[in-house]
Chain A
Amino acid sequence: MTETTVAEQRRVEAAVPAPRAGRLRRWWSNPWRKPGFLKAVTWGYLAWSILPLFVAILISFNQGRSNSSIQGLGLNWWWGDPSGSLFRDPELHVAIFQSLRLSIGTMLITVPLGVAFAIGLDRWRGRGSGTANFVMLLSFVLPEIVLGVAMFLVVVNVLEFLNLGTVAQVVGLVTYQLSYPVIIVRARLLSIDKEYEEAAMDLGAPPRQAVRRVLLPMLYPAILASFTVVFADSLDDFVTVRYLSGPASSEPLSVKIYNFSRGSPTPAINAAATFLLFATTLVVIVGYLAYRYSTRGQHRDELTALGQV
C-alpha cells in the first residue's frame, strides 16, 4: 500500500463518524483513559467523611440552643453560658481534668511496658515468645466490649481492691492500649540489625548499656509515635473507661459525651467533642514534629508504615 492510500484511508475514517458502539469500545479498552468514575467516588467519599465534622464543629460555636441548625456564631457553649458551657459547667469541667489524668497516666505506664515488651519479643526466640506474642495480638483484635466487660467483672468480683474509678480505668486502658507500642516498636526493630549492639558489646559495653545507649536511641522515633498514639487514643476512649467508671466525678469527657448524646444535648456536648478533637490534633501535630526531628536525615516512609499498623 502506498503512503497516499493510507493517508486517504485515515481521512475517510475521520470523515465518517465512527459508529457509537465502536467509539464506546475504543474508550472502554483505552488503558490510558482517565478514571473519572473512581475520582468522583473518592472525592465524594472524602466529602462525606469530612464535611459532617465541620458541621459538628460549627454547631459547637452556635449561639442558640439548637444542636441541629446554626443560629449565629459565638462562644456561648464554650465559655459564655454561666452553668451549661464546657468550661463552666462543674461536671464537664471536672471531666476535662479526668480525661487528661487518665490519658497521661495510661501513656506513662503503657509505653515503657510496651517498648520493653517489644524488645524482649523481638530478640528472644524461644517457645514462650510465640505465646506471649499471641496473647498480645489477641488483646489487639478482641472487640473492646469484651475487654471492657471482662475487666468490669474482674474488678467487681475478684480484684476488689481496684475500686471502680481512676485506678481501674487506667489499668483497663493500659491493657487495651498495650499492643500499639509493641506493634509500632517491633516494626522499627525489624529494620535495626543486631550488629549495632554487638559492636557496642565487643567494645566492652555491658548488655544493659548496649541496649540503653545504642538500641534505645535508635528506637526514639517509634517511642515518640507510641506516646502520641496511646495518648490520643486513650483521650477518646469511652468503652473500657465507661465500664470501669465509679462515681460521676470519675467519668472523663468522652464518657460524658456518650451519656449526654442520648436525649437532647446542647451544643456544649459539641464543644466537648470539639475540644477533644483539638486536643488530639495538637498532640498529633506535636508528635509528628518531634518524629520529624528525631528522624531528620533518615529515609522515612511513615505513611505506608501507618497503613500497615
Chain B
Amino acid sequence: MSRPAGSAAPARVPKLRRGRDAQTNGVHYPRWYWQSFAAPAIAWLLVFFLLPLYTVLSIAFGTVDPILRTPVPVWQPWWWTTAHVAEGLDKTFGLFQTVYLRTFGYVLVASAICLVLGYAVAYYVARYAGRRKTLLLVLLISPLWISYLMRMLAWINLLQPDGYVNRVLTFLQIVPEPVGWLEGRGITVILGLVYGYIPYMILPVYAFLDRIDVNLLESGRDLGANPLSTFLRVTLPLSRPAILAGLVIVSLPMFGDYFTNTLLSGSPSTTMIGNLIDDSIYTAGQQPEAAVLILILMLLLLIPIGYYLRSTARTAAAR
C-alpha cells in the first residue's frame, strides 16, 4: 500500500490489535489465521535453513573427535573454541591469500564486463527493438532456462585443442598453433563467468530501462542535449539502482562459484574461494575448515547481501 508522505493517520485513532481486529469491513478472520498459512514454511526454514546455518557456526567454533576426525559441533556459544577460526584466518592471510585476491579480481573483471555489455544490450532492447522486442526478450530469457552445465559444456566442446575456436584462430593466422584454452587460463574462467551470469544482469536493467518515461529523455533533447549527454545526464543517473541491483545479483553467485573453474580450467593456478570450500568438503577431517571458509565467505558478502535485502524491502514498502 502506498501512502503519500504527510497523510499520516490522525493520532487519536486507537491502535488496532493485531489478529482479529486488524481486518476492516467487519470481516473477521480467526486469530492466527494467516499465520497458520505461513507456519509450515516457517517450520521448514527453521529446521532446514537456519539450523544448517547454525550448524556451520557450531562446527567452525567446535572441536574435532580425536580418533574419528569427525567434527563435534559445539552448540553453546559460551563454550565455543576458536582454534579452527584462528587457523582459517591465518590461512586467509597466508596460504590462501592469492586465492582470495584472485577471486576478487575475477569477480571484479567479470562483473564489469557483464555490466558494460549487459547494459548496452538491455538499452538497445528497451529503446530501439521495436517490432522485434518480443523475439529479443525470448532470446535474452532463454539462457535462464538452459542448464548452466549445458552452457559450460558447449564451451568445453568449442575450446578443446582441436575445437572450433582454435581451428578458426589458426585458420585466420591469429595464433600460430592451437591454444590450450582449458588448461588453467584465467581469461577462460572469466569469460565462463561472464557467459554464465550475464543474463541475470540484462533482465533487471532491461526491466528498469523499459519503465523510464520517454518524456524525460525528450525534454532533455528539447533543452539542447545531444544523445550522449542525454544518456549521461538523464538515463544513466536514473538507472543507478538497477545497475547496483544487477551488480549484486551477478557478483553474489560468482563469489561462491567453483564449478565454472572446475569445468573450464581445473588447474590450481585459477582456484577460487568456492574451490577451496568444495575441495575441503570431500577431504576427511577437513569439515571444520569448510565451515570456517563458508563463514568467511558469508562475512565478505555481508555488504552486498545487506544492500540487496534493504533495497528489496524498500521496493516492497513503496508498493
Contacts and interface: CB of A to CB of B under 8 A. Distances in A.
Co-assembled chains A and B: yes
B38 A49 contact: no
Contact of A68 (B136, B163, B204, B206): B163
B49 A120 contact: no
B90 to A, nearest CB: 21
B143 A261 contact: no
Contacts of A108: none
B151 A53 contact: yes
B207 A117 contact: no
How extensive is the interface on chain B, given as a class?
35 or more
Given A149-B281, A178-B45, A261 B153 contact: yes
Contacts of B33: 207
Contacts of A22: none
Contacts of A254: 147, 149
B59 A114 contact: no
A104 B51 CA distance: 25
B254 to A, nearest CB: 8
A284 B152 contact: no
Contact of A38 (B49, B124, B253): B124
Contacts of A138: 305, 309
A201 interface: yes
B48 A69 contact: no
Nearest to A305: B207
Interface stretch (B3-11, B94-102, B286-294): B286-294
A158 interface: yes
Interface in A127-147: 128-129, 132, 134-139, 141-147
Contact of A41 (B120, B152, B164): B120
A49 B114 CA distance: 13
Interface string A245-276: 00000000010011001100100011001101
Nearest to A171: B48
Most buried by B among A31, A144, A201, A207: A31
B129 to A, nearest CB: 8
Contact of A67 (B39, B156, B255): B156
A182 B156 CA distance: 36
Interface string B119-150: 01101110110000010110111110111111
A261 B221 contact: no
A188 to B, nearest CB: 13
B247 to A, nearest CB: 13
Interface stretch (B23-31, B81-89, B168-176): B23-31
30 contacts: A31-B230, A35-B124, A39-B128, A41-B117, A49-B198, A113-B40, A116-B41, A117-B40, A119-B38, A125-B18, A126-B35, A132-B38, A132-B41, A139-B45, A141-B309, A145-B297, A146-B297, A146-B298, A149-B291, A150-B53, A157-B287, A178-B41, A178-B44, A236-B147, A258-B259, A261-B149, A273-B149, A277-B150, A307-B203, A307-B204
